[in-house]
Amino acid sequence: MLKLVRRCGWFAGLTVVLWGCSDDETGTGGAGGTTVATTGSTTSTGGTGGTGGTGGSGGGYVCQPGEATVFALSELRFGTDVAGGWKKIGMNIDGLVSDGMSTDVCQPAAGGFPTVAYPDGDNGIDNAFGKSLLPLINAFSPDFVARTNQQLDQGLFNTLLKIECLPPTGDVTGLNAKVFGGTELGSTPQFDGTDEWPVAPELLADINDPDSSTLIFPNGTVVDNLYDSGPNVEFVLWIPVEFDGNKQVLKLSLHAARVQLDLDEDRKSGKGVLAGVLNTEEVIEQVKKLAYIADKCSDDTYLQALTIIRQQSDIMTNGTQDPALTCDGISFGVEFDMNEVQRGLIGPPAPAPMSCP
């Protein structure tokens, strides 16, 4: 990875990136600090000045007001291509490596069994969604993963990540980022930076302002081209589903989430991982929508599925474990590819949801 090295501090406009420097008129300039992206203020971690010689000259990348890079999903991977693939997708959310004999985890829900709910993936990866829920979803919507990626290819939906003041090279802290739902593009996406993707009004703080996302990550970092949102953010995936011509939108609201995106050298695309926790009862509400379009509301298997889903709860919604409490969350992990697009205007709202009782 290329890294910027500067010796003198600088700032510009409302959005600022500042590098540390030595103020000595003579002396060896100190080591440059980490870039810090802020809005309306300047901060940095500067180096220590030395003695002898002449200090370095200023300069560096200046982030212009309103400058941002917007990324859109181009592929989602749930680990369904190989047996047990879910074990490698996600993160260790609770910081534990758990199995069916663990005693430092929350209590099983709805009469569930620890040997079913708690075994983690590799190195403690928490992904009960991929382990147990995805097969249930496929029962209502066959080929769910393939259909989802086909719809991404056709531009029928998306999730956008807008990273403000992302420099072309170098490490940086204090990055502000926003998440948007993407409605139908209206054409086949090119994923070359030219697509202007409309945003879903449901995730906007102001339905008249397409940039007013309710999902904001204020403390992101980039180190060696790896963007990290930091822990405990909120994230929403909107995924259209269809069964026999009936359509719904599956809303996956992730709590205690974290996003990591390994950027390519030009920082216009990358591969990433998203992990978090789905509140169990919120998942139940989404499954009721799937059952409705599949005409399963009066089916015994649908009622059984609701109980089975509750039994897959393996964590608390806030991403922790508490042996004194009943699990109320389902861990989630997915890998993805993203490419640069442009944030467009506000798209149409999603159809009114219909669901089983």
What is residue 6's predicted lDDT score, i.e. its pLDDT? 33
Long-range contacts (CB closer than 8 Å, 24 or more residues apart) made by 324-328: 324/107, 325/106, 325/107, 326/106, 326/107, 326/108, 326/109, 327/105, 327/106, 327/107, 327/108, 327/109, 327/117, 327/280, 328/106, 328/109, 328/279, 328/280, 328/281
> Are residue 201 and residue 253 in the same domain, yes or no?
yes
> Per-residue confidence at 309, pLDDT binned at 50, 70, 90?
very high
CA distance 311 to 130: 14
Judgement on whether residues 127 and 174 belong to the same structural domain of the protein: yes
Residue 18 and residue 126 in one domain:
no
- The domain boundary, picked from 66, 81, 103, lies at 66
Q: What are the pLDDT digits (tens) for 143-152?
A: 889 989 999 9
| Same-domain status, 53 and 90 | no
pLDDT higher than threshold 50 for residue 121: yes
Q: Say if 352 falls within a structural domain.
A: no
Question: What does the mean pLDDT of the chain come to?
Answer: 85
Q: What is the pLDDT of residue 290?
A: 84
Tell whether 355 is covered by a domain: no
Residue 37: its pLDDT value, please? 59
- Phi and psi for 122 in degrees, rounded to 5? -65, 135
Domain final residue, candidates 38, 66, 94: 66
CA 356, distance to chain mean position in Å, is: 29
Are residues 127 and 7 part of one domain? no
Does residue 80 or residue 268 have the better pLDDT? 268
The residues facing 71 across adjacent strands are: 161, 340
Residues 242 and 328 in one domain: yes
For the segment 43-81, what is each residue's pLDDT rounded down to a tens digit? Answer: 434 444 444 444 333 345 678 888 999 999 999 999 998
Q: Which pLDDT score, from 0 to 100, does residue 45 have?
A: 43
Q: Is residue 53 situated within a structural domain?
A: yes
- The arithmetic mean of pLDDT across residues 132-138, rounded, is 84
pLDDT of 296 higher than 80: yes
- pLDDT band of residue 180 (cuts 50, 70, 90) is very high
31 burial (CB, 10 Å; 0-12 / 13-18 / 19+) is middle
pLDDT at 32: 44
H/E stretch holding 123: none
pLDDT band at 256 (very low <50, low <70, confident <90, very high): very high
Q: Could you say which DSSP state residue 154 is in? A: H
353 is a domain residue: no
**Confidence check: pLDDT of 137 > 90:** no
Q: Which two tokens stand for residue 352?
A: 């009114």
Higher pLDDT, 241 or 221: 221
Judge whether residue 104 has pLDDT over 60.
yes
Calpha distance 279→319 (Å, rounded): 10
What is the share, in percent, of the chain residues with pLDDT greater than 70? 82
Model pLDDT for residues 3-51, shown as the tens digit of each residue = 333 333 222 322 222 223 333 333 334 344 455 554 433 343 444 444 4
Tokens in use for 246?
Answer: 């009936």
Same-domain status, 8 and 116: no
Domains in the chain, number: 2
14-18, 78-82, 188-192, 223-227, range with the lowest pLDDT: 14-18
pLDDT at 25: 36
Q: Among 20, 43, 66, identify where a domain stops.
A: 66
Question: What pLDDT shows up at residue 237?
Answer: 93
Does 92 lie in the same domain as 56? no
Q: Which of 209, 190, 355 is nearest to 285 (CA)?
A: 355
Asked, for residue 175, whether it belongs to a domain, the answer is yes
Instruction: Note whether 121 and 50 are same-domain residues.
Output: no
Q: Is the residue at 357 inside a domain?
A: no
Residue 135 pLDDT exceeds 50: yes
**Residues 315-356 pLDDT 10s:** 999 999 999 999 999 999 999 999 999 999 999 998 888 899
pLDDT of residue 105: 98
Greatest mean pLDDT among 28-32, 228-232, 304-308 lies in 228-232
pLDDT exceeds 90 at position 136:
no
Q: Is residue 185 part of a domain?
A: yes
Q: What percent of the chain has pLDDT over 90?
A: 67
Least confident span in 11-15, 127-131, 188-192, 227-231: 11-15
Same-domain check for residues 15 and 121: no
Domain coverage including residue 17:
1-66
124 and 10 inside one domain: no
pTM of structure: 0.83
For residues 300 and 188, which has the higher predicted lDDT (pLDDT)?
188
How does residue 139 score in pLDDT terms, banded at 50, 70 and 90? Answer: confident
120 and 153 in a single domain? The answer is yes
The answer to the question of residue 338 being in a domain is yes
Of the candidates 140, 146, 130, which has an alpha carbon nearest to the alpha carbon of residue 252? 130
